[in-house]
Amino acid sequence: MASAPEIARFWIDTDVCLDQRSCVIEAPDLLDDRPQSGGPEIISRDLDTHAKYLQLLNAAWACPVSAINVEFADGSVHNGSGDYIKSLCEELG
Ligand code: SF4
């Protein structure tokens, strides 16, 4: 199994988010519904377990408009539009 690259931070681009909640279903320990529109609420940024780490990657992969951005410790930023997040999900999941 590949080693999991460290994640420095993540954020949601609310300008493109469609509010249709795929990410909330994929990452229930990190994201929750917001009563109003504007994208899901980040309820935790703690990626202290492998399960939460994978939840974030799967949410980023599942987002239909690639609104979830993940910055890795090397400074690179990825979202669901490229192959990197997908390949990590497949390798580490
Ligand atoms: S999956 Fe993407 S578009 Fe859907 S609510 Fe989450 S961030 Fe927004």
pLDDT single digits (tens) 28-50: 999 999 888 889 999 999 999 99
Return d(Cα 76, Cα 56) in angstroms, integer: 16
Domain ranges for the chain: 7-92
Q: What is the pLDDT of residue 29?
A: 98
Q: Taking the CA atoms of 63, 68, 2 and 48 in sequence, report the sign of the dihedral they define.
A: negative
pTM over 0.75: yes
User: Rounded mean pLDDT of 7-20?
Assistant: 95
Task: Find the 69 Cα to ligand 1 centroid distance in Å.
Answer: 11
Q: With 60 as the cut, is the pLDDT of residue 1 above it?
A: no
Atom of ligand 1 at shortest range from CA of 68: 7
Q: Which residue's alpha carbon is nearest to atom 6 within ligand 1?
A: 23
Return d(Cα 56, Cα 50) in angstroms, integer: 10
- State the pLDDT confidence band at 67, using cuts at 50, 70 and 90: very high
Task: Find the 33 Cα to ligand 1 centroid distance in Å.
Answer: 10
- State the pLDDT confidence band at 2, using cuts at 50, 70 and 90: low
Fold (topology level) of 7-92: Alpha-Beta Plaits (3.30.70)
Return d(Cα 36, Cα 21) in angstroms, integer: 13
Question: Please, what is the Cα angle at 3 between 72 and 83, to 5 degrees?
Answer: 55
User: What is the DSSP secondary structure assignment for residue 15, as one 8-state letter?
Assistant: T
Return d(Cα 7, Cα 21) in angstroms, integer: 22
Neighbours of 7 (CB within 10 A): 16
